[in-house]
């Protein structure tokens, strides 16, 4: 079981590492998106400043037409008089300048709009990349937590196994000690029985010897009694 849990923990940690790497990639991409967005925003700001300058130039040119520039021309005739008329050449030149500035203004405004659009796109990408980075980091954290729980389970299982093994060893030790004690008691009981048997044998031998002694004594006494009776009988027969 511990081996399986260790393998699961290793797998979870490997996946977590991969998720963390992906999260870092998205975080780096978000940084790049932010840099690109800032560049486009700076470009848009510069374009807006340039557009204001162009607008000022257009305004100055338009002011030249209010009133339109004039020039003095001869009225002809004998008097040789002159009159003031619009200077069409200058007016044409001013209008050309205005048109040129308007083209520049349009181009500047288009560039500003494009830069702002690109900047917004990069900001959107940045937000998405940040969200992705947070998502993968969250996944990695969850996987790491799960792997830690598996590691803790393995540790507890191993500790429990050690405790069981220790308990088994203690139990075996106790059993051995009890067996040895029982063997010593059995040996003592066997020795005691042997001593009792030997003591009983000795007592029986003593009793038997005592009995034999008593029997021999009685036999001797009987023999002596019988000898006395025979002597007395002979004596009586002699007197008769």
DSSP 87-135: -HHHHHHHHHHHHHHHHHHHHHHHHHHHHHHHHHHHHHHHHHHHHHHHH
pLDDT-above-70 percentage for the chain: 83
Q: What is the predicted pLDDT for the residue at 206?
A: 82
32-66 tens-digit pLDDT: 999 999 999 999 999 999 999 999 999 999 999 99
Whole-model pTM? 0.55
Higher pLDDT, 153 or 126: 126
- Please give the helix or strand (H or E) that residue 73 lies within, else none: strand 70-76
Residue-wise pLDDT for 13-22, tens only, equals 899 999 999 9
Q: Give me the mean pLDDT over the 76-89 stretch.
A: 81
Residue-wise pLDDT tens digits, 117-139: 999 999 999 999 999 999 999 99
Is residue 161 very low, low, confident or very high in pLDDT (cuts 50, 70, 90)?
low
Which H helix or E strand runs over 75? strand 70-76
């Amino acid at each position: 079981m511990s081996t399986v849990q260790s393998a699961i923990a290793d797998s979870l940690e490997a996946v977590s590492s991969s998720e963390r790497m992906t999260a870092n990639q998205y975080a780096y991409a978000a940084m790049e998106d932010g840099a690109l967005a800032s560049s486009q925003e700076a470009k848009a700001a510069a374009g807006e400043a340039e557009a204001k300058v162009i607008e000022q130039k257009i305004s100055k040119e338009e002011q030249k037409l209010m009133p339109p520039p004039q020039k003095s021309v001869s009225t002809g005739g004998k008097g040789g008089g002159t009159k003031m008329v619009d200077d069409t050449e200058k007016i044409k030149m001013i209008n050309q300048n205005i048109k040129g500035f308007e083209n520049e203004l349009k181009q500047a405004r288009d560039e500003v709009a494009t830069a702002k659009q690109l900047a917004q796109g990069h900001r959107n990408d940045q937000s998405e990349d940040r969200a992705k980075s947070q998502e993968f980091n969250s996944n990695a954290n969850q996987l790491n937590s799960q792997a830690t729980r598996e590691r803790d389970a393995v540790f507890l299982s191993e500790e429990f196994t050690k405790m069981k093994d220790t308990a088994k060893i203690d139990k075996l030790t106790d059993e051995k000690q009890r067996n040895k004690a029982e063997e010593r008691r059995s040996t003592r009981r066997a020795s005691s029985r042997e001593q009792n048997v030997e003591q009983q044998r000795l007592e029986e031998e003593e009793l038997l010897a005592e009995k034999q002694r008593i029997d021999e004594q009685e036999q001797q006494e009987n023999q002596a009694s019988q000898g006395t009776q025979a002597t007395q009988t002979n004596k009586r027969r002699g007197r008769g």
